[in-house]
Amino acid sequence: MAQLFPELFPELRERLLRAGVAPRHVRRYLSELADHFTDLKAEEERAGRSGAEAEAAARARLGAVDELARAMVEQRQFRSWCARAPRAMFGVGPLLFLAAAYFLACLYLWFGWRVFLPGADTPFGERNGSMYDLANIYFQAGKYYYICAPVLVGWGIGLLAARQRLKAVWHTVALLLIAWMGATAQIQASRTAVPGGLGHISMKFFVPGAEAQVVGGLVHALVIFSLAALPYVIWRLNQGDARSA
């Protein structure tokens, strides 16, 4: 598609994405424009024009980039949710995603507790057995998932921001919230007073009190923020290089 008239399509794509048009609508628009351009060029060639002349005529008939972009941007229903409600998408959305990820982590822990440690008071205690036994692998996998969840959510947000060419400020706000939530989250597990009862798992977000806690929390938040932001930063740098090339 882009080989047909390389200088027009990337520019139109960028303009539409930056104007907040959802990527799926941009993709479809460009695909139909490419088909239309092919038909126009063929028509002009049938009329006796040379290849280059036919291409120029087809471009003129298709419309200028300004006109093509304006026609799409004016249709407000094609705007992505990130463009329509960035505060909700990048202020509340990431927190909900991370909360859902933590909920899954708690569910995973609770299931492992019931299956592998049915009599234990807590799933966090010392476990006997080989490092390679199933229980150990299960709980280690859960631990890494819990640790990586904020970073994974951050990468997802970065992908969204990059695909839709959003301003870096929204991505930064989302990552700050995720870093704060990730750095202050704690999972607690205790067995209920009822003998043989189900284990109780809960989450809380602590407020750092002591200086050591504050420093530890900040370092943790900084690590999450840096790791979550890394792919987006690399993408931005590549974009800058591509533009200056």
Residues engaged in binding another protein (CB under 8 A): 25, 28-29, 32-33, 35-36, 39-40, 52-53, 55-57, 59-64, 67-68, 71-72, 74-75, 77-78
Kindly tell me which of 67 and 126 has the beta carbon lying closer to another protein.
Answer: 67
**Closest listed residue to residue 201, CA positions, set 120, 123, 117:** 123
Give the dihedral sign, CA 20/22/27/32: negative
Kindly tell me which of 66 and 133 has the beta carbon lying closer to another protein.
Answer: 66
Kindly tell me which of 56 and 104 has the beta carbon lying closer to another protein.
Answer: 56
Q: For the CB of residue 215, give the shortest distance to another protein in the complex, in Å.
A: 52
| Residue 140 to residues 80, 116, 132, 185, 202, Cα–Cα distance (Å) | 38, 13, 10, 18, 19
Q: Using DSSP, state whether 4 is helix, strand or coil.
A: coil
Q: Using DSSP, state whether 48 is helix, strand or coil.
A: coil
- Residue positions counted in the chain: 245
Q: For the CB of residue 29, give the shortest distance to another protein in the complex, in Å.
A: 6
Q: How many CB atoms lie within 10 A of CB 125?
A: 9
Kindly tell me which of 13 and 171 has the beta carbon lying closer to another protein.
Answer: 13
Helix (H) or strand (E) holding 203, with range, is: strand 199-205
| Residue 124 to residues 99, 121, 143, 187, 237, Cα–Cα distance (Å) | 21, 9, 10, 10, 42
Kindly tell me which of 19 and 227 has the beta carbon lying closer to another protein.
Answer: 19
Q: For the CB of residue 116, give the shortest distance to another protein in the complex, in Å.
A: 51
Q: How far apart are CA 207 and CA 90, in angstroms?
A: 23
Q: For the CB of residue 210, give the shortest distance to another protein in the complex, in Å.
A: 56
8 Cβ contact list (under 8 Å, min separation 6): 59, 65
Kindly tell me which of 71 and 215 has the beta carbon lying closer to another protein.
Answer: 71
Q: For the CB of residue 83, give the shortest distance to another protein in the complex, in Å.
A: 16
76 Cβ contact list (under 8 Å, min separation 6): none
Q: For the CB of residue 33, give the shortest distance to another protein in the complex, in Å.
A: 5
Q: For the CB of residue 26, give the shortest distance to another protein in the complex, in Å.
A: 11
Kindly tell me which of 3 and 77 has the beta carbon lying closer to another protein.
Answer: 77
